[in-house]
C-alpha cells in the first residue's frame, strides 16, 4: 500500500476576535480534528499557516492546516503546502463556510467551483484547478438587515451554538471518512 501525505485545510480568519464567527467554520473543524488526535498547532511562517500533523496506522502523513493569510488570499497558503509537501490535488480537502447552504447542513464534494466564497475562489484561481475535495458547512443567508460582510464575521449566536457544535462534529466525521477512503 502506497503511503501518502494528505492535507486538510480549514478556512477562516486568524485572530481571537474571529475565533467563533460564522466565517471560521473551517478553522473550527480542523481544531476539532486536532483535539480528537491530541495535536497542537505550530506556526509555520514560511508556509503562511498554522499546522498540526500526525501519521495514521497505515503510515499516511496527515497535515491539518489553518491558512494565516487573509481569507481572500487562502490560495497562497494552499499552493505553498501542495508544493512544499509534494501533495497531489487528490490528497487535498478544503473545509469552509457556505452561505448558500442551510445553516447546520454539511455537504462533501469531490470537485467544484469556488461558488460565492472568496477564499475558495482564490484557491481555485491560484491552483488553476477545481478538482479537489471540499467540505461545505452551511451557515445560511444573513438575517434581514445585516450585510453579508458583517454576517460572516459575527460571533455565532447563543441560539445557534448547539447546532454549530453538532455541525462541526459532523464535518470532522466527514473528513475522517475521507481520510479512510
Using DSSP, state whether 10 is helix, strand or coil. strand
- What pLDDT was estimated at residue 156? 94
The string of DSSP codes covering 89-126 is GGGEEEEEEETTS-TT-EEEESS---TT-HHHHHHHHH
Q: What is the mean pLDDT of residues 95-123?
A: 90
CATH number reported for the structural domain that contains residue 85 in this entry: 3.40.50.1470
Considering the entire predicted model, what is its pTM? 0.94
Q: Cα separation of 94 and 102, whole Å?
A: 19
The better pLDDT of the pair 117, 86 is held by: 86
Active-site amino acid positions: 23
Tally of domains within the chain: 1
User: Is-contact 178 93, C-beta < 8 A?
Assistant: yes
| Integer Rg of the chain from CA | 15
Q: What is the mean pLDDT of residues 137-142?
A: 94
User: Is-contact 1 58, C-beta < 8 A?
Assistant: yes
User: Is-contact 10 119, C-beta < 8 A?
Assistant: no
Residue 70 lies in domain? 5-179
Confidence of residue 1 (pLDDT cuts 50, 70, 90): low
Amino acid at each position: 500500500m502506497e503511503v501518502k501525505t494528505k492535507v486538510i485545510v480549514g478556512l477562516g480568519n486568524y485572530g481571537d476576535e474571529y475565533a467563533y464567527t460564522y466565517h471560521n467554520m473551517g478553522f473550527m473543524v480542523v481544531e476539532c480534528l486536532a483535539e480528537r488526535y491530541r495535536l497542537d498547532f505550530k506556526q509555520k511562517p514560511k508556509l503562511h499557516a498554522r499546522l498540526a500533523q500526525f501519521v495514521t496506522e497505515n503510515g499516511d502523513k496527515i497535515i491539518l492546516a489553518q491558512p494565516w493569510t487573509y481569507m481572500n488570499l487562502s490560495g497562497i497558503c494552499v499552493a505553498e503546502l501542495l508544493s512544499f509537501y509534494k501533495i497531489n490535488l487528490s490528497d487535498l480537502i478544503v473545509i469552509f463556510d457556505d452561505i448558500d447552504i442551510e445553516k447546520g447542513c454539511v455537504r462533501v464534494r469531490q470537485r467544484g467551483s469556488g461558488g460565492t466564497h472568496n477564499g475558495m475562489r482564490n484557491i481555485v484561481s491560484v491552483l488553476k484547478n477545481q478538482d479537489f475535495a471540499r467540505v461545505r458547512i452551511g451557515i445560511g443567508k444573513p438575517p434581514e438587515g445585516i450585510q453579508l460582510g458583517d454576517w460572516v464575521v459575527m460571533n455565532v449566536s447563543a441560539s445557534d451554538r448547539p447546532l454549530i457544535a453538532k455541525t462541526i462534529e459532523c464535518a470532522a466525521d466527514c473528513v475522517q471518512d475521507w481520510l479512510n477512503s
